[in-house]
Structure formats: C-alpha cells, structure tokens
Structure 1
Amino acid sequence: MKYLALWCAALSAFAVAQAHAEGAPAGNSVTIYGLLDAGVSYVSNEGGSKNVKFDDGIFVPNLLGFKGTEDLGGGLHAVFNLVDQFSLGTGSIISGQGLFGRNAYVGLVSDRYGSVTLGNQYDFMTDSLFFGHDDAAMEVGGLYNFRAGPFSKIAIPGNPPFAQQFDWDRMAGATVNSSIKYQSPSVGGFKFGALYGFGGVPGSFGSGNSVSFGANYDNGPFGMAAAYTEVKYLTAGAPEVGIRNWGVGAHYRFDNITTTALVTTVRNTSNGGAIAEGEVGGNWLFDPQWQIGADYMYMKGDAFLNNNHAHQITTVLDYFLSKRTTVYVEGVYQRTNDGAQALINGVLDADGTSSGPSQFIGRVGVETRF
C-alpha cells in the first residue's frame, strides 16, 4: 500500500494545483519539482500505416514547476504555482502553450476558510474528478486513456484542426485563462469550489467568459465527485462557441485494489454536437514493486456526430524501480462502429487517425519524478 500511495502522489503532481486546497505547509518555502516520461510506442494504424516512434509525456506529462508558500500568520498563507509543460524529445515548450501555460497562479490559503487563487489554472473537471482519483487515466494509461475517438465534428476550438475532440472532457488538464478560483476546506469529508474566467470583452461582461463548479466527498476508502464547466471561445470574425462539460465519478480503495467509475459529457452549444462516455477501471498492487491496471470505456456521439461510438480497453503493468522511478508496459485498443475511424487520444500527428475502425497502441516507457 506504501508504493500505491507514492504512485498516486507522483501522478497527482501532474499539476500540483490541488496542493493548496489541502493546506499549505508551515513556514516559508519554494520548491522546484517535475515529472518526466519517455518511451517507445507502436501504433497499428496511423494514417493507414504502422508506426514505431519515440513518444514522451504519455503516462505523465513532462512538467517543470515552481511552487511556494509564505506563512502570513493566523492560519493564512500566500501561495504561488508556475508550471511549464515541454517535450522531452525536443526540449521545447508544448506547441500552443506559453512558458507557464500549464499553471500560473498566485493566491491566499486560509486553514479555516479555504483558498482563493488567480491566474491560469485548472477548472473542476480536472480538479474534482481527475485529482479526486475518479478517472482511471491517473493510474491506467495516462494520455492514451483520456477521451478521443471518431468525433472530430464536435469542433472544440483550440484543439488541433485535424482532431478537434482530443480530451473533449478537459480532464487531461485544460486550463482557464484569467480566472479566479475558490476552493473550500474539507468539512466532514465534503468540499466544493467555483471558478470564473474573465472574457475581457469591453461592454460585454459575459462574452468569452468561463464558469466551473465542483464538489467532492471523501470518507476513508470511498470518494465521489461531480463537476460542471462551460467555456465560451472567441475567434476573430466568427460567432462565439460555447462548450459545456459535466461529469460524475467515484472510487473505492480496498487494501491493495482501487476501483473507479466515471461518466463525462460534452456539448457544443453552437452546432449541437454532444458526446457521452462511461468507464470502469481498477488497479491491483499485487506486490510492493508490481502493479497491474485495466480500464474499459464506451463513448457515444449524438446524431450530429453520425451516432458514432467507440469501445476502448486499456491495460498497464508497472514495475517500481524506486519510490520515484517506474518502468511500464501499456496496451490500448479502440474499436469504432463501421464507417468511422478510430483515434486514440495522444496520437497527435496530423495524419494520426486510423484509416479504419480500429487502432492499437503498445508502449514501453519509463517515468520519474523529482
């Protein structure tokens, strides 16, 4: 159980955004931290061809972060968090992100009243559901096990134009710019939060804005969460596009087995496209150095998305070399309806969509943290 707890802590460092909500450490400190992941992936059908490639940031993202806290007395703390995501293969910042595009916020934390933070930060689809340990992707599959498939017509702005449904439920760590977020302390196992992102449009307070809400309950081995997010995207010369997400999830931890269940949805209010998914997963620490996990996911689009659907199965075997470093073997298989083209999340090349209804990825990788 010790290694399981350490592993969960490493994956939760994926953002460290929740650290302030759990209480800042006493005194003053500045910490440099990070995650690194690299490996070799085999893709059975990437644009009609097999591919063996170096791929990084899969099981966990490659992050370099700086966080700090200052004790202001009376149970009040000042906190900040700056996180950069980069490609380990090239050393460059992830395309489309700035230097601290993963997280950049400053705020105040009260031991009694909770936290208020301001900046570029996660909404509650990530904070409540993913960091609430209700998404199997945290321990089974990472980026490959977030949501994607034959749903490009959903047309979420900001995603690659060849795959506008990548991470359509925002749980891989999408952020809200220019936002203010409140997170309550935990009372009797309950906590809640709210976020507002400013659109910045003169004379139109509601244009381009974002809202998000989340609630969690944790009681020993059992936990559950719910979240809602709406983001309005503004593009020059085009109508505003609204994307709505909601989700509910739960987990239960036995002695050395953790089970998860999750339901998430998305709706594009501009074109009417919608997707829903349900999944169940689990992982078993059958030895202090070995862990195995599996997850099944079903995704379904509405009539606007041609009623396309997809089944996905993910499995992973972890070997803990130390408290910080893990090697793993992973397999992911997605099958869509006939006439649709499979696309596993994280196959980021412009021609990465399968030429048919199935796609498989096998991967061997290594992950470490500092």
Structure 2
Amino acid sequence: MKQTHNLILGGMLLSGACGIAAAQTGNSNVSIYGIVDVAVTRVDHLPGGAKTYMRSGPKDGNRIGFQGSEDLGGGTKAIFKLEAGLNTDDGTAGQAGSLFNRAAFIGLTNNKLGTLTMGRQYSSYFDALNALGPVPIVTGSAGDHPGDIDGFDITIRHNNSIKYTSPTMHGFTGSAMVASGEQAGHTGSGGSAAASVKFDGSQWHHALGYQLLKNGPNQLNWDATTAGSFSKSPVNAGYLSARDIQFLAAGTRYQMGAVSLGGSVSNVQYTPNATSVFRDKAIFNTGALLAQWQTSTPWLLGAGYTYTQANRANGITDGARYRQFALQQAYWFTKRTSVYFLEAVQRASGQTLAANGRTVIDADAVIGTSQAGLVGDGAHQTMFSIGLRHSF
C-alpha cells in the first residue's frame, strides 16, 4: 500500500509539471563528462606488512557520464543522467554487473515547482551533506570518515527511487526521497527514505539530513536486494544483520575569501530485531572539523580531523573509537587538471564485534572507504598517495 501511495504521488507531481509545459517542445542538449583519476598509494600496518599499489580514483572517483535536458516550455525541462564508475588502473567497471552504477535517472524540473527524478540516484541526505563533508576538502581515501560510517561519501546509492527537490527560496532548499526494495511478497522490505534541508548563503552553508535504510528478508548479512547500498567495513561488519540503519547528520561551512572552515556531526544507529545476530542497538557518533586554503599560487591545501565513537553494547565494555587526521595538497595546472598528494593517519582503540556479529574483538584501524579492503593489523595505520586527476 505504501509503495502504491508513492507511485501515485510521483504521478501527480509529474502531471503537474507537464500540465504547465507548453505543447511545443523547445531546445534540447546532451553532454558527456567525466573524471580520470589515478594514484600510487602506500598503506602500512597490514597483516603482511606495508603495501604499495596503484589506486583508481582516490581523490574524486573515476566516472564517465551523459546528462541532458530538453526545454518543454513554461519553465519546465525534461532531464536525465547516466553515470558509470570505472577503474583507471585496469579499465574494469566500478561495480561488477552494473553499467551505470553511480546514477541512472530521468525527471522533470520546473522553476516554480521544483525537480522530480526517478531511478538510481543519491538520496536527499547525501545531496545536502556531501558538499559539507570531507570529499571536497580532503578527498576520498585520505579524508573519508572511517568506513564512511555516516554516508558522507558516495557509497550510498538508491535503486527504484523517487526524489523531489524544492526550488531554492531565500537560500533554503528542501528535498525528500523514497525507494522500494521491490521484492515480491515483502512489501516495504528493503526500502529506504531520506529528507534534508539546506541553506546556501554568500558565506555560510548549512545542512541537516535524515536517512533510513531497511534490510530485506534475507537479513543475516544485509540483503543484496535492498534499494540502498552502503559501505561495509570492519567498522560496521558485526552489525550487518540489523533490521534497519538510521542516519542523522548536520554540517556547516564558512567561506572567508580563500579560506573555508567547517565541521559536521552525525549519529548512526544499527537497530536489531529477532533475526539479527547481535542483540543491542549499535550507535556510532562522529564529529569532524575541516579547513581549506586556496593559496595565491595554484596550490590548494586541505586538512581534516575526524573522531568516531561507538557505544558500549553487545558485550562490549569499551566502545570502539577511531581518530583520524588527513591532509591534501593539490597543484592545479588548469581548472581541469591537477597533481595531488594525500596523507592520513588513524588510531583505533576500544572494542567492536567481529563479522560473525557475536565475538568481541579489538578495533583495528581502517582509513576511509578506499582502504576498506586493506584493514590494519592493529591500532595504527598510515596512508600516502600521489596522483594525477583530469576532468572533462
């Protein structure tokens, strides 16, 4: 029933936008864009020692996309986006079995009514908070919050989603999204929802967002048929049998000429039910501070500090803590091309649950999301990257 209501609402919004469009179509345009980004990366304190390897997209993420619009008249346009991730080091797809894994949606936008899109896309939560998180300041593998535990990076995308974004009024923009798991016989299972409000002024930028991910019927290790994907790492490995995950976050940034300062706070809760392996709600609170300086030269400098604290539950007497400090130095030859350096150091302490959801273990360091497959063999880990990035 809930899914039917969502479809009816989407149809009403689409009909409203079409109703004010002129019958005669206008101009249309399609553009191709992308980012090619690759780096040599070194990570230490691994079970087999340090590792040096070629990393694809540690700064901005490799992609190629197609987007376009057609003027329908009356201030209304039809829009679409198709965006695929790729690995520069070996030419493979960014996600096996998926072509346009980053985005695949179509919609309508109107100056007075706002924008309605449908397909695979980022949530309202991400749209509002990503710009105030570590990615634009200290990007990717160096600056991500541990395991991207609060979804500030690009790891959470939603299939079968409908998203509405309001017009901007006096600097404020609101947005809401719903998505369905679409598994027969399990109405409402595996769905997701999000909402956000943000303010963009000449110097101040603020955002508040909420996001809910529901697990599917095959719950023991997070059902693969759910609408929303997310980052899985040693930070949350013991809690993947949760009934649902709730995200609540706020971010801010102040621009002072060539310098910007900002920060964010987030609360993420993994809620169990009778099917879950773990028994108590797992809560992760994260605070972050960011700074960026565009020097009078082509050098852009960034720094970020993140602190993540997990609660004491599920037999854990000393909740896991992750302290991470990251730096970025990027030399921009042009607006499209740069050479960059990324550095990060993390210290983990306390306890967490192992992947089986039962065994209490010491928390190991794991920097960001790009290093999720390279888990530290203890409480410390450092990372260094030197790379080249070009956009088109």
Match of 1:367 in 2: 389
With 280-289 and 94-103 compared, the bigger mean Cα shift is at 94-103
1:146 counterpart (119, 144, 151) = 144
Please give the secondary structure, in 2, of the residue aligned with 1:45: coil
1:203 to partner: Cα distance: 5.4
Match of 1:60 in 2: 60
Change over 3 Å in CA distance of 1:365–1:32 after alignment to 2: same
Match of 2:11 in 1: none
Match of 2:310 in 1: 301
Please give the secondary structure, in 1, of the residue aligned with 2:67: strand
1:349 to partner: Cα distance: 6.5
Please give the secondary structure, in 1, of the residue aligned with 2:151: coil
Letter in 2 for 1:261: G
TM-score by length of 2: 0.79
> Per-residue displacement from partner, 1:227-248 (whole Å, max 9, x unpaired)?
0000112153757731111100
1:281 counterpart (285, 290, 309) = 290
> Per-residue displacement from partner, 1:319-347 (whole Å, max 9, x unpaired)?
01111101111110001126431011235
Letter in 2 for 1:138: P
TM-score by length of 1: 0.84
Unmatched tracts of structure 2, length 5 or more:
1-25, 221-240, 273-277, 351-361
Change over 3 Å in CA distance of 1:349–1:226 after alignment to 2: closer
> Per-residue displacement from partner, 1:124-181 (whole Å, max 9, x unpaired)?
2310001xx3113212132332122xxxxxxxxxxxxxxxxx3222222211110000
Please give the secondary structure, in 1, of the residue aligned with 2:162: strand
Letter in 1 for 2:163: K
Match of 1:236 in 2: 218
> Per-residue displacement from partner, 1:103-124 (whole Å, max 9, x unpaired)?
0000000011100000011012
Please give the secondary structure, in 1, of the residue aligned with 2:50: strand
Letter in 2 for 1:135: G
Letter in 1 for 2:347: R
The equivalences for 1:104-115 within 5 A come to 104-115=104-115
Structure 2 CA distance for aligned equivalents of residues 356 and 39 of structure 1: 25
Please give the secondary structure, in 2, of the residue aligned with 1:72: strand
Letter in 2 for 1:363: S
Letter in 1 for 2:322: A
2:121 aligned with 1:121: yes
1:170 counterpart (151, 158, 183) = 151
Please give the secondary structure, in 2, of the residue aligned with 1:136: coil
CA contact (8 A) 1:48 1:354 kept: no
Change over 3 Å in CA distance of 1:349–1:315 after alignment to 2: closer
Structure 1 CA distance for aligned equivalents of residues 85 and 118 of structure 2: 20
Unmatched tracts of structure 1, length 5 or more:
1-25, 149-165
The equivalences for 1:17-56 within 5 A come to 27-56=27-56
Change over 3 Å in CA distance of 1:136–1:170 after alignment to 2: closer
2:171 aligned with 1:189: yes
Letter in 1 for 2:36: L
Change over 3 Å in CA distance of 1:36–1:188 after alignment to 2: same
CA contact (8 A) 1:125 1:169 kept: no
| Number of residue pairs aligned between Structure 1 and Structure 2 | 325
Structure 2 CA distance for aligned equivalents of residues 88 and 44 of structure 1: 23
Letter in 1 for 2:312: A
Please give the secondary structure, in 2, of the residue aligned with 1:187: coil
Letter in 2 for 1:342: A
CA contact (8 A) 2:34 2:391 kept: yes
Please give the secondary structure, in 1, of the residue aligned with 2:115: strand
Change over 3 Å in CA distance of 1:97–1:228 after alignment to 2: farther
Matched-pair identity in %: 27
Letter in 2 for 1:319: Y
1:85 to partner: Cα distance: 0.5
Structure 2 CA distance for aligned equivalents of residues 309 and 266 of structure 1: 14
Letter in 1 for 2:33: Y
CA contact (8 A) 2:192 2:213 kept: yes
Change over 3 Å in CA distance of 1:167–1:76 after alignment to 2: same
Structure 2 CA distance for aligned equivalents of residues 223 and 323 of structure 1: 23
Letter in 1 for 2:92: S
